[in-house]
Amino acid sequence: ADLCEVLEKLSDKYYKLNSIQQEQFFYEVRDNFNQVPQKKSWIKRAAQVIFLNKTCYNGLFRVNKKGGFNTPFGKYLNPLICDFENLLSVSKILQIAEIETCDFVKSIRKANDKTFIYLDPPYRPISQTSNFTAYAKYEFGETQQIQLAQTLKLLDKKTSAKLMLSNSDPTNNNTEDKYFEKLYCRFHIHRLLANRAINSKKDKRGKITELLILNYDVNCDSKQLKLFPQEI
């Protein structure tokens, strides 16, 4: 309730502004969010995260090397900033969740035979012009991709945990690039069509294939599998 109240104040103010004023307001909120957080300000910061996510370019959460949020304004006509019903549902689910901020190697050590793990790491770039791998101030490059694969192979060997990983499909640009087939040999690899708004020019955007990598078989055609759309 407290979060929605703060978020509604932000959205009400935003909706009353013209497009130029909305952009100015966005950067004011972003600058305020990037300041050193004060005690008892977490509800305000949570509201700012949601507001920025709904109004920034492509809903992309990205920070610079100093840890400051730096995604630009999105210029949306009427974004849904305060989705009360959805926030309430998420809040109920989180009551039984345990959230940790840690290295992925540490986070999956708790896995056992009854565990299902879905991993959505920064995607491996499929071209020289789409080489963004740093959503935070730490890079997630080739070394981390290999480390992730080695960790999952070890987990697959030691437990019966079900593992699912999404990543880019290098064959979109080079049909001979079998990077993930080699990295995840003996895993099940499915290619799925996904809409991706990853180009700054709208006419360059469209459907590409992405990979869904599993350590278990699924009793359905890959066309029945779906990827959640990511506006990045």
pLDDT at 41: 86
N-terminal to C-terminal alpha carbon distance within the chain: 29
Mean pLDDT of 200-229: 67
* Cβ contact 60:71 at 8 Å: yes
Report CA-CA distances (Å) from 195 to 42, 96, 152, 203, 227. 34, 32, 27, 13, 9
Residue 3 has pLDDT above 70, yes or no: yes
**What confidence tens digit (pLDDT) does each residue in 138-184 have?**
678 899 999 999 999 999 999 999 999 999 999 998 999 999 999 99
On whether the pTM is more than 0.85, the answer is no
